[in-house]
Amino acid sequence: MKKKAAVGLLLAALVATAHAAESPVSGGTLNVALGSDTPIIDPSITGYSVTALITRNVVDSLVGQAEDNRFTPWLALRWEINDNHTQYTFHLRKDVTFSDKTRLDAQAVKYNLDRILDPKTTSSYAKSLLGPIDSITTPDDFTVVIHYKTPFAPLLQGLSLPYLGIQSPAYLKNTPNTSNTVVGSGPFILKSFVKGNGSQLTRRDDYQWGPGYAHHQGPAWLSAINFKYLPESSVRLGALTSGQVQAIDAVPPANVRALQHNPHVSILTKENPGIARVLYLNTSKGPFSDVNVRQAFLHAVDPASAVKVAFFGTLKPADSVLGPQTLYYDANARVSAAQPAKQLSPGQPLTVHFLYDPTSTESADVTLFQAIQFQVKKAGFNLQFDPVDSGIFSARTASNDYDIVSNFYVRAEPDILRTVFHSAYIPPKGANYSHVHSLDDKLTLAIGAPDAQRKQIYSDIQRQVIEQAYVVPLYIPAYQLGISKKVQGISWATNAKPNFYDAWLSN
């Protein structure tokens, strides 16, 4: 009996130890290496995904959105929406403060939204998420009402994103240039941001208002997060495997299989919803003003083989403008593999200029673009690369000096199509790099239509984008996070970015 009792006690001790090891540990610094950079850290004035990744830890949102797409309380404890989606009423928490110790109340929320709507702020992406707001009222100190003259159904999803995160009005009013700083009410404080280097975040110890989807409340477990910009794949990988950092994004595709067999490392993958990685063909001038030339270029590209070369089978090629994880994605609105490639008339090759910013473009994407350059040459296109810095990129897109640009947008709501195809968002006002005008009516109708009608409208839009060759789909982006097995508690936001509020480091 004594022997059995001893064995029982030993097993109980082992179980207790295992449970203790699984309990979150407070403290420690998480070092994250990033493969691409952002020129701007203020989420209200940029659409860069790196900005969203970093500032999600610094700014809170009115509502949260869980991984299963449920909307949860956050800064707003509850809300009401009228039947035709023209009025949204938000009831705020009364205990929230910004890291500068000022109060977050209805006037603070209104100030943020008014700032985004102000054309002087150049908040093209954040402004598109808000839609055609008519007015914002504050009946009392902790109630905000957003009014529309026409229905706008996608608001909650947009409000859950860090691009509409609430910043301190006191800070904003006293900071002429917010490109390098952010002051929010989030679980971390931005200690520093240096373009081309990285960001340092420190924990806010008095934080008590996490999102409803979180696994704990109170301060974050981590003491600090350091985001380091390491554009070279081999350097980023070496930093992870040597323990210099505990997480990297943009896992080098050629090394994925080896990492999967590394006992100290895990790879977490989340397929993006929203706009796939595409090439936007400028329809307003030059060769691509001719739909036949656009279609010839579209069908000269073989995404499957190019993606295989660049990503070693780690990503799926795209044949549509939206990713499958997006609401109302239409699997039938795609480039037909059976359709023969169109040929240009014999003559001199057509030269087209591809404008991109190397600092926000991962090395695997450059390999992909080079493979496409070779493919389209056979169809009579001389694809020229124009790598420029972010300032020149903005200037040239604003002055319509390009034939092709490329990006992807991460959003679970199909209203993202309005952001990239409505004429109100032609550069410099937004991201309609294809200079499309023909979809305005459908995109406007879709934001307030009943669900069944919205689904049909978005299907029609997806088909038209491909038929008119406004874009060339390349691949379905996925966020790949390589992490040390010491990192626990990672969850995913609906914009396919890792959440670090619940994350902790095991000993």
- Please report whether residue 269 resides in a domain: no
Residue 280 shares a structural domain with residue 155: no
**CA distances from residue 309 to 203, 269, 345 in whole angstroms, order as listed:** 41, 20, 29
What are the tens digits of pLDDT across the range 105-115? 999 999 999 99
Q: Which residues contact 465 (CB under 8 A, 6 or more apart)?
A: 321, 333, 417, 421, 439, 471
pLDDT score, position 270: 93
What are the tens digits of pLDDT across the range 7-45? 444 444 443 443 445 799 999 999 999 999 999 999 999
What are the tens digits of pLDDT across the range 119-164? 999 899 999 999 999 999 999 999 999 999 999 999 999 999 999 9
Write the DSSP symbol of residue 149.
Answer: S
For strands 381-387 and 350-356, give the pairing. parallel
- Please report whether residue 99 resides in a domain: yes
What are the tens digits of pLDDT across the range 230-284? 999 999 999 999 999 999 999 999 999 889 999 999 999 999 999 999 999 999 9
Residue 179 shares a structural domain with residue 311: no
What are the tens digits of pLDDT across the range 180-219? 999 999 999 999 999 999 999 999 999 999 999 999 999 9
> How far is it, in rounded angstroms, from Cα 313 to Cα 494?
24
What are the tens digits of pLDDT across the range 288-311? 999 999 999 999 999 999 999 999
- Please report whether residue 74 resides in a domain: yes
> How far is it, in rounded angstroms, from Cα 214 to Cα 65?
10
Residue 349 shares a structural domain with residue 406: yes
- Please report whether residue 212 resides in a domain: yes
Residue 98 shares a structural domain with residue 222: yes
Residue 399 shares a structural domain with residue 487: no
For strands 143-148 and 87-92, give the pairing. antiparallel
> How far is it, in rounded angstroms, from Cα 417 to Cα 430?
12
Residue 154 shares a structural domain with residue 90: yes
Residue 170 shares a structural domain with residue 114: yes
Average pLDDT over residues 67-95: 96
Residue 279 shares a structural domain with residue 145: no
Burial of 369 (0-12, 13-18, 19+ CB in 10 A): buried
pLDDT score, position 7: 42
Residue 463 shares a structural domain with residue 498: no
Average pLDDT over residues 448-470: 96
Question: Which sign, positive or negative, has the C-alpha torsion 332, 338, 344, 350?
Answer: positive
Q: Which residues contact 251 (CB under 8 A, 6 or more apart)?
A: 237, 259, 267, 314, 480, 481, 482
pLDDT score, position 316: 96
pLDDT score, position 17: 40
pLDDT score, position 159: 98
Average pLDDT, the chain: 93
For residue 468, what are the domain limits? Answer: 275-476
We report the CATH number of the domain holding residue 148 as: 3.40.190.10
481 alpha carbon, distance to own chain's centre: 14
pLDDT score, position 224: 98
Residue 408 shares a structural domain with residue 499: no
What are the tens digits of pLDDT across the range 423-441? 999 999 999 999 999 999 9
> How far is it, in rounded angstroms, from Cα 120 to Cα 392?
20
pLDDT score, position 11: 43
| pTM across the whole model | 0.85
Residue 218 shares a structural domain with residue 352: no
> How far is it, in rounded angstroms, from Cα 253 to Cα 259?
10
pLDDT-derived band of residue 56, with 50, 70 and 90 as boundaries? very high
- Please report whether residue 258 resides in a domain: no
- Please report whether residue 15 resides in a domain: no
Write the DSSP symbol of residue 348.
Answer: S
- Residue closest to 156 by CA, chosen among 102, 52, 53, 85: 85
pLDDT score, position 22: 74
We report the CATH number of the domain holding residue 281 as: 3.10.105.10
pLDDT-derived band of residue 360, with 50, 70 and 90 as boundaries? confident
Residue 5 has pLDDT above 50, yes or no: no
Instruction: Quote the number of domains for the chain.
Output: 2
- Please report whether residue 260 resides in a domain: no
Residue 151 shares a structural domain with residue 181: yes
What are the tens digits of pLDDT across the range 327-348? 999 999 999 844 555 667 667 7
> How far is it, in rounded angstroms, from Cα 222 to Cα 486?
12
- Please report whether residue 236 resides in a domain: no
